Chain A
Amino acid sequence: MNLKYIIKRLLYIITTLFGVSIITFVILRVIPGNPIAMMLPPQATQQDIIELKAQYGLDKAIPIQYGIWLINVVQGDFGVSIHMKQDVMELVIERLPATLELVLAATAIALILGIFIGTLSIMKKDTFLDKLGSLMAVLGLAIPDFLWGLLFIIFFGVFWHVLPISGRIASTDTLINITGFFLVDSLIKFDFKGFYSVFLHLILPAFSLALPLTAIVIRVIKSSLLEVVKEDYILLARVKGLAERVVIFIHALRNALIPTTTIVGVQFGFLMGGTVLVEIIYSWPGLGKLAVTAIITRDLPLIQGVVLVLAFIFVIVNLIVDLLYTFINPKIRYG
C-alpha cells in the first residue's frame, strides 16, 4: 500500500460525499412540504411566508442555495437546525457516539455469533447444532430488526422484566460524558455500576440490530467453509495430523473470512440504516432518532448534515474493509 493509493481513495470519498450531498439537497427541496409551512401558524400571510423564506435563504434558486451551503460546509459550518435552533454539527456529533456504540456492538455480536455458529455447524454437520444454526440463519433474516426489537421488549421487558428497554442508562445513574461512548466513559472513570447499567441497556437494542446480520454471517461462513474444506490445503492440514478444530477454526476459517468481510462491510451501511427504527423503539438517543425528528419537521440543514455524516461513515467503513483485505488475503496488495 502506498501514498498514491490512499490519496486516490480519499479523492473517491470526496467525490462520493459530493454526489450524496447534491442528491439529498435537491430531493429535499423538490418533494412536497417545507419547513416554512411547519413553522408558521395557518393564518400567516403571504408576506410572512416570503420573509421567513428569505431569512433561511430558501427564496433563492436551488443551485445558488447549494453553492452557499457548500461554501459554508467547506469552512466547517453546517448551518443551524431550523427546528432545534442549534448548530447542526454539534447536534450530530452529540448523537453520533450513541449510534456508533450501538452499531459496533451489533456488528461485534453478529460477527462473533455468526462465525462461531456457522463454523460449528460445519464441524458438527447434520447434528442438532447444525440444525439449530440453520434455523437461526432462516429466522434471523425472516424477522427484521425492528420486529426483533418489539419481540424482545415484550418478552424481556414486559413479561420477565429482566432487561431495560429504554435509553442508554438508568435514569438514576449519571455519567460524565467524555467520548460519548458510554461503555468507554464509564470504564475511564472506573464507574463499574454505570458500566453495568450501560451494558444492560445495550443488550436488547444491539441484539435486535445484530440478529439479521448474524443470519447473513452464518450463511456466508457456512457456504464459504463448505468450499474451503474441499481444498487440498485442508487435506494437507489433516495429513499433518492437526486436530479437526485446528483444521477448521484456523486453516479453513481464515480463508472463509475473506467473503465474510466483504458482506459485513456492505451490511454495515444497512446496519446504520437499521438503527433508525431500533433507536425509536428503544428511545435510543442516536443519529437515527435525530434523523426521524429532522425529517418529520422538514429540518433541511439537519437532514442534510445527518445524511452527510452517515454517508461519510459508510465510505470510511468500506475503506477500512478494503484495507482489512490485505491482512486477511495476502494475495491482495494495493498499489
Chain B
Amino acid sequence: MSDPLLSVKNLQVFFHLAQGTLKAIDGVSLDVKKGQIVGLVGESGGGKSMIGLSILRLVPEGGKIASGKIIFEGKNLLNLSEDEIRIIRGSYISMILQDPLTSLNPAFRIGPQMIDVLRLHKGYDKKEAELIAIEMLHNIGIPDPKKNIRKFPHQLSGGMRQRVVIAIAFSCSPKLIIADEPTTALDVTIQAQILQLLKNLSTEYQTSVLFITHDLGIVANLCDSVAVIYAGEIVETAQTSELFLNPKHPYTKALFQSILRHDKKQEHFYSIEGVMGSHIDWPDKCKFYPRCSEKLDGCEKTGSVEFVSYSPDHLVRCLKYE
C-alpha cells in the first residue's frame, strides 16, 4: 500500500498557561490517504480545530507544537522554514474555516481575496487570475460571477460566502483540504448543498479532505474513515461503516446515543454526563473515565492507555479491550 498523503505522528500541542500546562493535542496520530475524506469527530473544545491549525503550523499564540511529526508527501512540515511552509499553505494544503460570515475580509471585494492566492502560488498576472477566479465562482454555483466578484462580502448571503471560501480553498488545486466544520454556521438546507459541493470538488480535483465536525450524520454520508477525538486524544479510528456498525470506545458509543432519532420517540434527550472540563496538568491516564459509564476499577489507577487493534484498521484506546 502506498504511503498516506498526510501522516500525523504522535503530535503534541501544549499551551503553557499560568495555571499549568494544557495538552491541547496529546499524542495524536492520523493518516489521510490520497483522495480520501477522513472525518475528525468530537465535542467542541476537544482539539479538533487545533489539529487542523497545527498541520498548517498556525497554532494560535501561546500554543506550541511540543513534539511529533507531520509528514506530508514525505516531508516533515515541522522541519520546514517559515518561507517553505508558506508555500505549502494555500497551494498544497488549504483550509476552510467554520464561519463564512467572518472568514472573508470585510474591507475587500471578493475578487482581490480570490486573486491574491492565485497570483502568489500560481504566478498568474492579475488578468489571468481574475478570469480563473470568475470561472471558479461559476463552477461552485455562484450566479453572475462577473458581477458578484466585484461585491463586498457583506453583500452576499452566508451560503454564497461559504462557497467563495471553498472556491478560495480549491483555487490552487491543493492536495489536501482541512474543512473545519464548514457547515456548522449555515442553515440546514444550505448545509446539504455545501457538503455536496465539497464532495464533488474533492472528486474533481482529487483532493483529500480532513473533515472536522461534531455531526456524525455528516460523517456517515461523506467520510471514508473516521477518527474520534476526546480532549486532545484520538480514542478510536476506523472505516466509517465499521465505526457506525461497531463502535467500541465508550465515548464513541455515547456520541451515537446522543444523536436524535426520528424513528424513536424520546422522553429524555440523551447526553453524556458531566462536562469535558479542562485537562490542565492532567496525569497520563484516560481523560474520559470521569464521565464514562463503562469505567473499570483500573481506569483511575492505570497510566496512559495505548491503542488496541480491535480489527485491522479499527483501533480503540480503552482499557476494556486491552
A interface residues with partner B (beta carbon < 8 Å): 231-233, 235-243, 246, 251, 254-255, 328-331
Contact = CB atoms under 8 A, between A and B. Distances in A.
A90 B218 CA distance: 77
B86 A243 contact: yes
Interface centre among A237, A239, A251 (most CB of B within 10 A): A239
B281 to A, nearest CB: 26
Query: What are the nearest 4 A-B pairs in CB distance?
Result: A241-B90, A241-B89, A240-B90, A232-B102
Given A232-B97, A243-B86, A238 B104 contact: no
A239 B89 contact: yes
B58 A231 contact: no
Interface residues of B, number: 29
Contact of B116 (A233, A235, A242, A330): A242
B199 interface: no
A231 B102 contact: yes
B92 to A, nearest CB: 9
Contacts of A331: 106, 152, 154
A237 to B, nearest CB: 7
A235 B169 CA distance: 13
Contacts of B56: 238-239
A236 B104 contact: yes
B154 A330 contact: yes
Interface in B153-204: 154, 165, 168
B103 interface: yes
A315 to B, nearest CB: 27
A229 B109 CA distance: 19
Contacts of A238: 56, 58, 89
Contacts of A241: 86-91, 117, 120-121
Main SS at interface, chain A: helix
Given A235-B103, A254-B107, 14 more contacts: A232-B97, A233-B102, A233-B104, A233-B106, A235-B58, A236-B103, A239-B97, A241-B117, A241-B120, A242-B90, A254-B108, A255-B107, A329-B106, A331-B106
Interface in B72-104: 86-91, 94-95, 97-99, 102-104
A255 B109 CA distance: 13
B221 interface: no
Given A240-B116, A241-B90, A330-B106, A232 B99 contact: yes
Nearest to A234: B105
A239 B95 contact: yes
Contact of B97 (A236, A255, A330): A236
20 contacts: A232-B103, A233-B104, A233-B106, A236-B103, A236-B168, A239-B56, A240-B94, A241-B86, A241-B120, A242-B86, A242-B90, A243-B86, A246-B116, A251-B108, A254-B108, A255-B105, A255-B106, A330-B106, A330-B107, A331-B152
Contact of B58 (A239, A243, A328): A239
Nearest to A327: B107
A66 B248 CA distance: 91
Contacts of A328: 107
Interface centre among A237, A238, A241 (most CB of B within 10 A): A241
Contacts of B98: 232
A233 B105 contact: yes
Given A235-B97, A240-B89, A329 B121 contact: no
Interface in B284-303: none
Nearest to B114: A240
Contacts of A330: 106-107, 109, 152, 154
Contacts of B103: 232-233, 235-236
Contacts of A240: 89-90, 94, 116-117, 120, 168
Contacts of A254: 105, 107-108
Interface centre among B56, B58, B105, B106 (most CB of A within 10 A): B105
B105 A251 contact: yes
A242 B91 CA distance: 11
Contacts of B116: 240, 242, 246
A239 B152 contact: no
Nearest to A239: B95
A238 B98 CA distance: 15
Contacts of A246: 116
Nearest to B98: A232
A47 B107 CA distance: 70
Interface centre among A242, A243, A330, A331 (most CB of B within 10 A): A330
B107 to A, nearest CB: 4
Contacts of A329: 106-107
A231 B121 CA distance: 23
B94 A239 contact: yes
Contacts of B107: 254-255, 328-330
A306 B60 CA distance: 54
A126 to B, nearest CB: 11
Contacts of B106: 233, 255, 329-331
Interface string B210-230: 000000000000000000000
A61 to B, nearest CB: 56
A209 B93 CA distance: 50
